[in-house]
Amino acid sequence: MRATGQLELDSYRLAQYTVSCPCYICGGGNNFDAELCRHCYAPMALVHQANSQKIHPRMVAAIGSSGAGKTVYLGMLADMLSKGRDDLQLLARGAFSIGLQERTMAALARCEFPAKTPNEPDRWNWVHCQILRKKLKPVELILPDLAGEALLEEIDHPNTYPVIRAFLGKCSGVLVLIDALRCQAGEADEDFRAMKLLSYLCELQADKKTGWASKAVALVFTKADQCDHCFDDPQQFARRHTPGLYVQCRERLKRHAFFAAGVAGACGYRLEGRGRVHVPLRIEPRGVVEPFHWLLEEVAR
């Protein structure tokens, strides 16, 4: 009952359900109190934050095959930037935006890598944050941790995961993560999968001026701490170990750059009941911020 003594009818509350609330990612209609979009399973908190703060965040994706290290890279990146640097500072918006950082750092503290991201979109971690830049205008970003297997399933069978197609269609830039260790071992499937990802992007938006051919693409060789010469010249590493990807980038992308990154200073194997488990022996992040910094500058132009 209100202070004036008037009681609001319960039936009046139902009026709120007559107004559709569009998802920020796919644009599908939802009830005002929905937690996840019923069409693509993206958090509805994204649209509530955008409306309340009158901002329209840019979207950036981190894509790569399963096991390329997307969760470790994004979690470590969020942790490093949230603690502040001279030139970049990450401020998370909403409690859900801290889940990826928390999950990754908790696993690394136990000398484990975080578990593989589930294929179900309603279990993905999303990061909505504000990036403060020294003497420059802050940038609002949305950056989810997409499952590698779901990405490749969407490429092979389009519209299997509507959230991936809708999100990549709105992205301003992308980080393509490639397993440097597998590339150095001569496993050609990593080259093929990266080529498929880039081909999918170029087909998704084929316009030469506004499509992915002219958007920023950072290609990051992960686990480079276990193949040191990758740090010396990532572009030369790409030419030698991923020739198909190198040629595709040169011929189809106007704004791209190769980087090398590593989170674990050394790795080993631990015997458990399920067999040998790959574990980090120590944490020495190297080259983690540089690709994101480059992409941010390209996106914020």
Q: For 250-283, how does the pLDDT look when each residue is reduced to its tens digit (9 = 90+)?
A: 999 999 999 999 998 888 888 887 788 889 988 9
Please give the structure tokens belonging to residue 52: 């309340």
Which tokens in the block code for residue 69? 């290290």
Region 229-243 average pLDDT: 94
Average pLDDT score over residue span 230-256 = 95
User: What percentage of the chain reaches a pLDDT higher than 90?
Assistant: 71
Residue closest to 299 by CA, chosen among 60, 54, 25? 60
The answer to whether residue 70 scores a pLDDT higher than 60 is yes
Give the residue extent of every domain in the chain.
13-56, 57-300
Look at 70 and 33; give whichever has higher pLDDT: 70
pLDDT, one tens digit per residue, over 127-184 is 999 999 988 889 999 999 999 999 999 999 988 999 999 999 999 999 999 999 999 9
Could you read off the pLDDT of 11-31 as tens digits, one per residue? 666 777 788 899 999 999 999
CA dihedral 100, 124, 274, 106 (to 10 degrees): 10
pTM of the full predicted structure? 0.90
pLDDT number for residue 205: 87
Measured distance CA(140)–CA(131) in Å, rounded: 6
**DSSP of 175-210, one letter per residue?**
EEEEEHHHHHTT-THHHHHHHHHHHHHHHHS--TTT
pLDDT at 3 over 60: no
Residue 107's H or E segment, with its range, is helix 99-109
Dist. CA 20–CA 65, nearest whole Å: 36
Helix (H) or strand (E) holding 156: helix 148-156
pLDDT band at 4 (very low <50, low <70, confident <90, very high): low
pLDDT in tens, 77-127: 999 999 877 689 999 998 999 999 999 999 999 999 999 999 999 999 999
Alpha-carbon distances, residue 64 vs 95, 101, 215 (angstroms)? 26, 19, 17
pLDDT score, position 12? 67
Tracing tokens 């935006």 back to the chain, one arrives at 97
Which CATH fold topology does 57-300 show?
Answer: Rossmann fold (3.40.50)
